[in-house]
Amino acid sequence: MKQIGKILAIIVFLGLSLPYVFGIVANRHAVRFVDRLNVLLAKQHATELKIMAFHRGWFSSQILLKMKQTTNGHLDIKTVPIVLGHGPVSFVNGHIMFGVGTVSIADFQIGNPVPCRINAKMHFDFSGGWSAFLLLTQNKVAILKNIVKFHIPELLVRVDSNAAATHIVWHFSGSGLEMVNIKDRLTLKLKNFYATMNQDVSNAKDWQAMFSAGIRDPELRLDTIKNALDFSITANKINFNNLQLNTQTITAILNQLKILLQKKEATGRIDSEQLLNLVQQLISVTVTKNTDATVKNLTLTTPMGQINLNYKIAFPALKQQHDFSKLAENISSSLMLHVPNWEYNNIKNHFGMKISHFMFHSTNKSSSLTNETITLENLFVYTLNPESSPMMTKNDELYLIHHLSLSNQLVKNAQNSSNTTQFDIKHACIVQDCFYNFHDRFEILNLNSPAFTILGESAQKLSSHAVDTSVSKQNQAIEPYLKLITPNTKIVFSHNMTTSSGVTKLTGTLSWPHWTKQTPLTIDSLIQQAVYGVHLILPVKSVNAFLTAPKKAPHANQSIKTTTAARPSSLERMRQIMENAIQKDYFKKINGVYEINVKGHGKDYVFN
């Protein structure tokens, strides 16, 4: 029983004495922290902090902190009452924390530029590290420069640091932000937003950091009463994660950008290629394999209609050392764009357009598999009656499309790359000419994948004018494309269409089975080694209508002499070629259709 009493006495003694002892230690931590903070604030914000009074208690102490700040030559002095809670046990934001002590600031008011109330707590742990919690609440709307109304009900800032302040983690979160530009009638609302930055400052000359940020339920609205137009952008979520910030590298790029802008001020011109190169460098150094971004349910609302967007992007296969071209090769993304209805009337030029249910969907997996699909339910392009009411009623349909779809698939590996495109229209009309069941398919199979890298490098050289003067620009532009060809490369295409005259069909193939690494990379080689075949079926009615169509009348300002001496148009030359082909029996007339078969190798070909 006596031992239990001794143990209880020891516990009571420690419970009563430890807070006082920890109060002494906490006082030292607070003074040291203020000194470190002064060094930082003096450089950046012309601010000085000083402890004016210290009243130590048993479980807590009272500190009076004076803050002097110079802004535009005006000296502002504030006193901040602080409570220093002694350890080893503290309560911070509803959580039990063990450490040296906790600094608390309650209901401290600031007035400029945004009036708000500050509540803050800073906890010092046993290792010398610290965590700070800062809550800003704004009860009144602030007006900045008589132009912008600004209101943020709540902003929470948390900072965690180790003892040496070489590793710092920042967390920002807020809700209910609203900004209104009174002059431009532009309103921005954010229901929730956040940002985090994991910062390594062990090297004073080259800080490293990973930055993430996001917003939820944003709304941006433009209200122009003068033109009676309302535009708004809303979304469920927009965020990005793990952007890499390297102060030394980014500073070097920004310095180059500064020099470029100074040249623009002096000459009135900017080097667009150099500007693009700097932007690409900036993107390259900030994106890593852990970087990703998401846009969820973004909606653009206009008087003409709505646009809905969902987008995701990441770079999971990206290597640590990379340039901008490698970013493009290692993108994994998904994009969904939907336009339910869209209507546009051009009153000046008397035409209008209506679109319903336009959809674009794209998925990309590190460039090894890309799928793109476009669908459209209806498209109308029509003339407007200029003598009607201001609503400009519809007069005649110029173009009409029902149920259009376009799909494209790219499959790529280390050796080969293949692309397939398919295009379908169920029903379409151009003025009075209509066609049905339009179907096109185009395949490029087994291209040489490594040559795409050469193609990208060549494009950069040509754009930067770093070309080989001993070789013509035409050859330098063509050679990278010819390197895409292999003996297995093949192009396959087909076309089907139904009109009032009948069915039109076209199929064809093109390949280079004898192409080798020793083949000269020239246009002549491309033609000479090509193996091809074409099969075409045309309704006789369509051919006759084309051949007997009236010729286009000459322009009123064109003399008869000039017209007769002028070269025939491409349409007239096509008629001549077709008439010649029919006369020579290249077009065979069978059961109401003209049919043609061509097979060839290089410049040698035969008609079957």
Q: Is residue 28 in some structural domain?
A: no
- Placement of tokens 């000296």 in the chain: 75
CB burial string 187-206: b at 16+ within 10 A, e below: bbbbeebbbbbbbebeeeee
**Alpha helices of 464-538 — where are they, by DSSP H?**
473-482, 523-528
Span 177-181, average pLDDT: 84
Alpha carbons 115 and 138: distance in angstroms, whole number:
7
Span 215-230, average pLDDT: 73
Residue 555 main-chain phi, psi, to 5 deg: -65, 150
Q: What is the per-residue pLDDT for 454?
A: 75
pLDDT in tens, 251-278: 888 888 888 888 888 887 888 888 888 8
Residues in the chain: 608
Predicted TM-score (pTM) of the model is: 0.75
Q: What is the per-residue pLDDT for 566?
A: 56
Average per-residue pLDDT for the chain? 80
DSSP 3-state helix, strand, coil percentages of the chain (rounded to 5)?
25, 50, 25
Q: Is residue 85 in some structural domain?
A: no
Span 420-426, average pLDDT: 95
Q: Is residue 472 in some structural domain?
A: yes
Give yes or no for residue 159 having a pLDDT over 50. Answer: yes
pLDDT in tens, 433-478: 888 999 999 999 999 988 887 776 666 665 555 555 555 566 667 8
Q: Is residue 42 in some structural domain?
A: no
Q: Is residue 473 in some structural domain?
A: yes
Looking at the DSSP assignment, which residues form a beta bridge with residue 71?
74
Least confident of 69-83, 418-432, 477-491, 590-604: 69-83
In the DSSP assignment, the letter for residue 554 is P
Q: What is the per-residue pLDDT for 339?
A: 96
Give the pLDDT band (50/70/90) at residue 499.
Answer: confident
Q: Is residue 516 in some structural domain?
A: yes
Least confident of 32-36, 314-318, 526-530: 32-36
Tell me how many domains the chain contains: 1
DSSP 3-state assignment of 212? strand
Q: Is residue 132 in some structural domain?
A: no
Q: Is residue 345 in some structural domain?
A: no
Domain residues for the domain of 507 are 451-550+568-607
Write the DSSP assignment of 109-167 as a string of letters: EE-SSS-EEEEEEEEE-TTS-EEEEEEEE--S-EEETTTEEEE-SEEEEEEEE-TTS-E
Alpha carbons 198 and 166: distance in angstroms, whole number:
11
Q: What is the CA radius of gyration of the chain?
A: 36
Give the pLDDT band (50/70/90) at residue 20.
Answer: low
DSSP 3-state assignment of 97? strand
Dihedral, CA atoms, 135, 139, 144, 150, nearest 10 degrees? 80
